[in-house]
Amino acid sequence: MKTLADLRAIKEKAKQELASREQTAKYRLVVAMGTCGIAAGARTVMTAIIDEISKRGITDTIVTQTGCLGYCDQEPLVQVIQPDKSVITYGKITPELARRIVAEHIGKGNVISEQVFMQS
């Protein structure tokens, strides 16, 4: 360690790991992982999301999961939750679409409206 900058570089990297333990994140990405969701491919969606977030070095987002949302025909479902905003639920998500959600919605704040199944 030669400079303060070296220290800060380690800090930024470690923060990303820790971010998932913070409950103050800007975005919360929820993948529905009921039996129906998993059967519809929610696991590969989850893997894609984790991979994309990691690649982009996003730290203000946590990825979590929930059980069946009751819309089994729309699975895999992904929700984007922001404090004080309505919950956006995307339906029929593929790994490719999942990566787009990370890039567009999380990265730039743009909702991918054609994939929105429900807004509540």
Partner 1 sequence: MHRMHVIIAMDPHTIAQGARSIKDALVKNLELAGLSNEIKVVETGSLGIYNKGVVLVVFPDGIYYTGVKIADLSEIISEHLVKGRVVERLHYRDIPEESRAEEKAPRFGKQLRVVLKNAGIIDPESIEEYIAQDGYEAYGKALTEMKPADVLQTVKDSGMLGRGGAFFPTGVKWGFAAAEKAKEKYIICNADEGEPGTFKDRLILEGDPHAVLEGMCLAGYAVGATMGYVYIRGEYYMSIARVRRAIEQARKNGLLGKNIFGSGFSFDIEVREGAGAYICGEETALIESIEGKRGEPRDKPPFPPSVGLWGKPTIVNNVETLATVPQILLKGAAWYKSLGTESTPGTKVFTLVGNINNPGLIEVPLGITLREIIYDIGHGIPNGRGFKLAQLGGTTGGILTSEHLDLPFDLVNLRSIDAGLGSGALLVVDDTHNVVELVQNFAEFFNHESCGKCTMCREGTGRLVELLHKLTSGCGAESDIALIERLASAMMKSAFCGLGQAAPVPILGCLRYFRDEFTALAQQKRQQIPANA
Q: Using CB under 8 A as the criterion, which residues of the chain lie in contact with partner 1 when the complex forms?
A: 1-4, 7, 10-11, 13-18, 20-23, 25, 28, 30, 33-35, 38, 46-47, 49-51, 53-54, 62-67
Q: Which is nearer to partner 1, 7 or 87 (CB)?
A: 7
CA dist 49 and 53 (Å) reads 6
Tell me the closest approach of the beta carbon of residue 71 to partner 1, in angstroms.
16
Q: Rounded to the nearest whole angstrom, what is the least distance from the CB of residue 64 to partner 1 in the complex?
A: 5
Q: Hey, how many other C-beta atoms are within 10 angstroms of the C-beta on 96?
A: 9
**Residue 56 structure tokens:** 């982009």
**Count of CB atoms within 10 A of residue 94's CB?**
14
Residue 98: count of CB within 10 angstroms of its CB: 25
Name the minimum Å distance from CB 3 to partner 1. 6
Residue among 68 and 118 whose Cβ is closer to partner 1? 68
